[in-house]
Amino acid sequence: MAKVELRNVRKSYDRGKTWAVNNVSLEIADGEFMALLGPSGCGKSSTMRMIAGLEEISGGEIYFGGQLMNRVKPSARNVAMVFESYALYPTLTVYENLAFPLRSAGVKGDEVDKRVRAIVEILQCEDLLDLKPFNLSSGQSQLVGLGRALMRQPNVFIMDEPISHLDTRLRSRMRSYIKRLHIDLGYTMLYVTHDQEEAMALADRIAIMDVGNVVQIGTPQEVFHQPASVYVAGFVGEPPMNFLDCQAEHKNGGYQLSYKGHAMPLPDDAAALAQRQAIPRDVVVGIRPFYIDVAAERSARHTTPAEVFVVEPMGDSTVISVNAQDTRMQIVVDPATAASSGDKLWLALEPSHILLFDKQTGARLS
């Protein structure tokens, strides 16, 4: 196990004309589970491959436990990797697939068997040992792939979208396995994914990337409740955060928010922002779908008009999509709430959960 540190790491595939990874700096503590989260093409896989030594870095430094890794060969970094594809040897049994990394490293028979049995006990897959890969389900194959990577007792354990192709129920079960493996073994783990639900469920901290840059690092709670920008706020959370383009007007010594002529509640921290005169005229109001109340009639609280676009019953809740004066919003309500397409509603935004963003820069005002 080792602490991993990236200092101003960069990667270009066209001699510096564009940067796939641009001055990325982050620390993964010894024994920490960090997720690298972002959409396709944001640079997360290039970052992962540079850590593993599979890509040559264009600039910056990578350290494992304080030791510079820039010129250390991949085979000498002791990095275990799991990919979306299982990459199991089809002619070998599960036992031999698990034993292969140890035999290749020159580990002798009794020690190989001892280590295989230990990993199998952790994964609870004793009944699979004599089977070959074509006899395994996709979930069992991925479990064996995890086990084979763990056989090396690595300094760093890297997973690149390992369960994205599995069905929903199996993904949930595999997330539990991976989380439990980290708790039991305490390896330094980096999990690369575009799925914010996986990152939120698994990681101690999440590093969110956008066009080659790390735009926020924080715990799942921090990136969910205190997003640094509109980009992060919209990327993390399901259903995603709603955004409204509003104006902040300074009147009678205070601020008022309006959305297309309708008054909007000020967030709870607006007083501190106003005291510093830190509220620009054009702002974006962000509110998650769980923190909007709906009513059939206008009231002192319910001041924003909307029309129901579509209703999606989810069993334990209902998601209502509405058009609020040309802005599409999603609202999570109690399943007993009666609503149909075309209904007129009035919305109330909970002030304690409203976030303000600078419309020009996208940065959260805090």
pLDDT band for 275, please (50, 70, 90 cuts).
Answer: confident
Q: What is the pLDDT of residue 104?
A: 82
Residue 327 burial by CB count (10 A; 0-12/13-18/19+): exposed, middle or buried? middle
Same domain, residue pair 298 and 223: no
Query: Could you give the C-alpha distances from 292 to 36, 302, 330, 349, in angstroms and in order?
Result: 30, 10, 9, 5
Q: What is the mean pLDDT of the chain?
A: 90
Of 235, 258, 283, which residue constitutes the final position of a domain?
Answer: 235
Q: What is the pLDDT of residue 253?
A: 65
Query: What does the pLDDT look like over 196-248, one tens digit per residue?
Result: 999 999 999 999 999 999 999 999 999 999 999 999 999 999 999 999 999 98
Q: 366 in a domain, yes or no? A: no
**Share above pLDDT 70 across residues of the chain, in percent, rounded to a whole number:** 99
Res 165 pLDDT > 80: no
Same domain, residue pair 125 and 228: yes
Q: 363 in a domain, yes or no? A: no
Average pLDDT for 17-30: 94
Q: 136 in a domain, yes or no? A: yes
Q: What's the CA gap between 80 and 1, in Å, rounded?
A: 11
Same domain, residue pair 91 and 213: yes
Same domain, residue pair 76 and 212: yes
Q: 181 in a domain, yes or no? A: yes
Query: What does the pLDDT look like over 278-310, one tens digit per residue?
Result: 788 899 999 999 999 999 999 988 989 999 999
Q: What is the pTM of this model?
A: 0.88
Residue 253 burial by CB count (10 A; 0-12/13-18/19+): exposed, middle or buried? exposed
Same domain, residue pair 200 and 71: yes
Q: What's the CA gap between 65 and 56, in Å, rounded?
A: 20
Of 187, 203, 235, which residue constitutes the final position of a domain?
Answer: 235
SS3 category, 174? helix
- Give residue 70's domain range: 4-235
Same domain, residue pair 22 and 138: yes
Same domain, residue pair 289 and 346: yes
Of 235, 262, 277, which residue constitutes the final position of a domain?
Answer: 235
SS3 category, 349? strand
Two structure tokens written together for 273 = 């922002």
